[in-house]
Structure 1
Amino acid sequence: MGRWEPNARGRLEQAALELYSERGFEQTTVAEIAKRAGLTERTFFRHYADKREVLFGGAGSLEELFVRTVTDAPDSAAPLDAVAAALDAAAALFEERRAHSRQRQAVIVANAELRERELIKLASLSAALADTLRRRGVAEPAASLTAEAGIAVFKIAFERWVDEANQSSLSHLIGEVLEELRAVTAGA
C-alpha cells in the first residue's frame, strides 16, 4: 500500500456505511472498515476519532454553511428568512447525496447511540445559528426560537426526504414545512 491514498476519507465513509448497513453499527469494527476501504486502522484514526464519527464527519461543514449563509443574508432579511436561506443552501448540498443520506439515516435510526449523537449535532447547529442571529442584532429569545424552529424545519423536511416513498426535493420539502410553521405561528 502506498503512503498516499486518494480519497481515503470518502472510501472509509463508504466502507463504514456499507458495513453498518450489512451487519449493524455495533457489530462492525474499525479494523473491518479500514480493510474494506483498502486502508489501515492508522489511516482510519487519522481521519476519524471513532467509528461513530464516520457518520458525522460533515457536521462541521454543514455548520459553517449555515453560519456563512445567515451571516451573508441581507440586513433587511427577517431572522426566519435568513435561516430559511441557510436551509436552502444545505438542501442543495444534500440533493446529490440522497441515496447516501437514506442509507446513513437508516443506520442512525437503528441505533440509540447514533440517534443521540444526531441530536447533539442538531443542538450544535441550533446553537451556532442562534449565535449568528445574535451577532446580526436579533435579541433573545427571538434568536434562540428562530434557530430552534429552523432546525426543526430542517429535521422534519429531511426525515420526509429520506423516506423512500417521497420523491420531492429537499428544498421543496423545506419550503412546505416552513410554510406549515408560518401557518401554525400565524394562527397563535
Structure 2
Amino acid sequence: MARWEPNARERLVRAAVDLFTEQGYDATTVTQIAERAGGLTKTTFFRHFPDKREVLFAGQEIHARLLTEALAAAPPDATPLTAVAAALDALADSFDDDRRELGAKLMALLADNAELQERAAFKHAILAAAIADGLRERGVADRTAALAADMGMLAFDEAFARWTHPAAPTTPVAPADSADPADRRTLADHARQALAELRDAATALG
C-alpha cells in the first residue's frame, strides 16, 4: 500500500528551491529533491512534475484558470484594463504571504540560469494568452486584448519583483506596529499600482 504523502507537491517545491539555492540548479538531482522533501521517492516526484525544471513553475494551469475566471466574472461594462486589474487581483490573492521568501529565492535562481529564464518567459506568454483569450470572450478586439494582456503580465511581473524584494528602509528599523505601510503591501496592492503606472505611461505616449 502506498504511503500517505500529505502536501507532497508543496514539499517538493520548497525542497527543490532550497537545494537549487544551496548547491545550484545543475548540481541538484530529482532524488535529492525527493529525499529533502521528507523522504519521498523519485516516483512521487514524477507523479507531480515531469522534470526538475517544472517544479519551479508549479501551478501554471491554476494561474491561467484564475485569470480566465476573473475576467469572465468582471462587470459587463468594465474596460479591458479594469477587467485585467480584477484578473490580477485574483491571481495575486492565490499567493500567500509565506510564499514571499520562496519567491525571492526563485527570482535569484532565474537571474542566474538562462534555461529557467526561458521557461519563465514561456509561462509569462501562456498567462498573457489566457488574459487575451478571456478579453476576446468579452468582445474586446484582438489587438486591444493582446495589448491589455501584455500590460497585465508586465504589471504582474513587476509587482512580483517588488513584493519579493521590498525596498530597503531609509530610516532606522521601527517597531512592527509603526512600520512603513509600503512594507505591508500585498502582492495585489503591488499589481494594482504597477498596472496603473503602465496605464499612465501608455497615456503619456500621446
The TM-score normalised by the length of structure 2 is 0.86
Tell me the residue number matched to 1:118. 120
Q: CA–CA distance in 1 between the matches of 2:54 and 2:152? A: 24
Query: Could you list the runs of 5+ residues in structure 2 that have no partner in the other structure?
Result: 169-182
Alignment deviations for residues 69-88 of structure 1 (CA, whole Å, 9 cap, x no partner): 01110111001100111111
SS in 2 for 1:49: coil
Alignment of structure 1 residues 21-32 onto 2, 5 Å: 21-32=21-32
Maintained 8 Å contact 1:95/1:169: no
Aligned: 1:184 with 2:197: no
Aligned residues: 188
Deviation at 1:2, TM superposition (A): 5.1
Residue 158 of structure 1 is aligned with which of 157, 160, 163? Answer: 160
Aligned: 1:128 with 2:130: yes
Q: CA–CA distance in 2 between the matches of 1:106 and 1:61? A: 24
Alignment of structure 1 residues 32-111 onto 2, 5 Å: 32-37=32-37, 38-96=39-97, 97-111=99-113
Choose 97-106 or 47-56, whichever is displaced more: 97-106
Q: CA–CA distance in 1 between the matches of 2:89 and 2:120? A: 20
Deviation at 1:171, TM superposition (A): 2.1
Deviation at 1:172, TM superposition (A): 2.2
Structure 1 residue identity aligned to 2:195: L
Structure 1 residue identity aligned to 2:200: A
Query: Could you list the runs of 5+ residues in structure 1 that have no partner in the other structure?
Result: none
Q: CA–CA distance in 2 between the matches of 1:130 and 1:115? A: 22
Q: CA–CA distance in 2 between the matches of 1:180 and 1:56? A: 27
Q: CA–CA distance in 2 between the matches of 1:7 and 1:155? A: 27
Tell me the residue number matched to 2:186. 169
Identity of aligned residues (%): 48
Deviation at 1:99, TM superposition (A): 1.3
Deviation at 1:123, TM superposition (A): 0.3
The TM-score normalised by the length of structure 1 is 0.94
User: RMSD value over aligned CA atoms?
Assistant: 1.6
Alignment deviations for residues 123-159 of structure 1 (CA, whole Å, 9 cap, x no partner): 0001111111111100121111111111111111211
